[in-house]
Amino acid sequence: MTKASVNATITKIRALHGRMLTAQDYKILAGKKSVSEVAEYLRTHERFSHLLAGIDANTIHRGYLEELIRKSNFELYVKLRDFQHLKHDEFYNCVCLKYETQQLLSLIASILSGTREQFIVSFPAYLIRQTKLDFQELSKCQSLHELSKALEGTRYEKPMGQIVGLSDKADYLSCEIILRTHYFRNLLQSIKNDLPKADAALISKAVRSELDVRNVVNAYRMKAYFGAPSELMKQSRLPFSKMGKEKMEKLYECRSAEEMIEYVRQASPGISALFESGDFIETAMARLNLKAAKKLLRTQSMPAVYYAILQLCDIEADNITHIIEGIRYELSDEKIEELIAY
């Protein structure tokens, strides 16, 4: 890949970021009173005008609007990947792996709850051409054991073997930990294998920091809302963190949520901002990830800029979903704004 080609990709991605929703856009959207009003506003915005052209904003369903935006983000990822003919590098297929993992978890949830017939109806059709998994056939599996057999010979054979090995202890949470661990392990390995050392160091640091945030927030929720024992929190931890196992172990030994916050302030000042902003913990977490992604976007590393825009698109889609949900539950403009990361 030539320097000119790399610079062209970075310029293309930064131009895209410049067309994304701004703080002012979010403030306006938070004041809308219906999904139709949100859709109409998005249709007038450069970022989404092509997506909503020809669609009747007055009748659009919230689920369909959200799915259109997710589909648009996925198609953007494919275009960026194929723009530089990068589809043969595992790192640049990371979004496919993430979507596959999400869909396998949805399928597992439907098997465990006895609602398999609903899975294929809600399956995103745009994923079909980008995945090697035949989800139509997989949806016929009636048990986790059958699903494990069907996935033999794929990259999911080992994690599904772990899940089946849990026998009657294979609840959804344990399945999620195993499959998400598998995803992040593959992501970090592909970063190491496919990218130059300097680029790999940048992105690995961002991924591990994201995992720290996830782990700290999950532990805090479990302790604050359910009084969970340390052993249960340890079982829910995703590995590969930047903080390290020793610091996380000490976090889990805290006797209360308040003690956890105090410990995080000392062990990781950056993450402690999560608990000091006054936001919902999920919003604060998203804002921390948003800040990290914007930092990557300013680098001259094409892989880092590529990874950053994918993160930013996900956060933008989540923001729109939160706005729509806020309208659905008739929250005030101010409450809706508290749900948005910008």
Which pLDDT value is given to residue 1? 61
pLDDT of residue 33 exceeding 70, the answer is yes
- The pLDDT score that the predictor gives to residue 270 is 79
pLDDT reported for residue 278: 66
> pTM, whole model, 2 decimals?
0.90
Buried b or exposed e, range 45-76, using 16+ CB within 10 angstroms:
bebbeebbeeeebeebebeebbebbbebbbeb
Is the confidence at residue 205, as pLDDT, over 70? yes
pLDDT at 88 over 80: no
Helix (H, G, I), strand (E, B) or coil at 92: helix
pLDDT score of 87 more than 80: no
Question: Average pLDDT over the chain, rounded to whole?
Answer: 91
What average pLDDT score do residues 182-207 get? 96
Length of the chain: 342
pLDDT computed for residue 181 by the predictor: 96
Count of other CB atoms within 10 angstroms of residue 235: 12
Segment 151-180 shows an average pLDDT of 92
What are the b/e assignments for 308-341, b being 16+ CB within 10 Å? Answer: bbbbbbbbbebbbbbbbebbeeebeeeebbbbbb
- 299 φψ region: left (φ > 0), alpha (ψ -120 to 50), beta (else): beta
CA-based end-to-end distance of the chain: 33
Asked whether 30 and 336 are in contact (CB, 8 A), the reply is yes
Q: How far apart are CA 188 and CA 205, in angstroms?
A: 10
Residue 266 burial by Cβ neighbours in a 10 Å radius (0-12, 13-18, 19+): exposed
Q: Of 298, 290, 296, whose CA–CA distance to 317 is shortest?
A: 290
Q: What is the DSSP string of 135-199?
A: HHHHTT--SHHHHHHHTTTSTTHHHHHHHHHTGGG--HHHHHHHHHHHHHHHHHHHHHHHS-HHH
96-143 per-position pLDDT tens digit? 999 999 999 999 999 999 998 889 888 999 999 999 999 999 999 999
Query: What is the structure's pLDDT at 7?
Result: 86
Q: What is the pLDDT of residue 303?
A: 94
CB 90 within 8 A of CB 102: no
Question: Residue 335's pLDDT is what?
Answer: 94
What's the CA gap between 251 and 328, in Å, rounded? Answer: 37
Q: How far is CA 71 from the centre of its chain?
A: 14
Say how far apart CA 119 and CA 105 lie, in whole Å: 10
Question: Does the pLDDT of residue 55 top 80, yes or no?
Answer: yes
| Alpha-carbon gap, residue 108 to 131, rounded angstroms | 18
The confidence score (pLDDT) of residue 67 equals 93
Give percent of the chain above pLDDT 90. Answer: 68
pLDDT tens digits, 42-54: 999 999 999 998 8
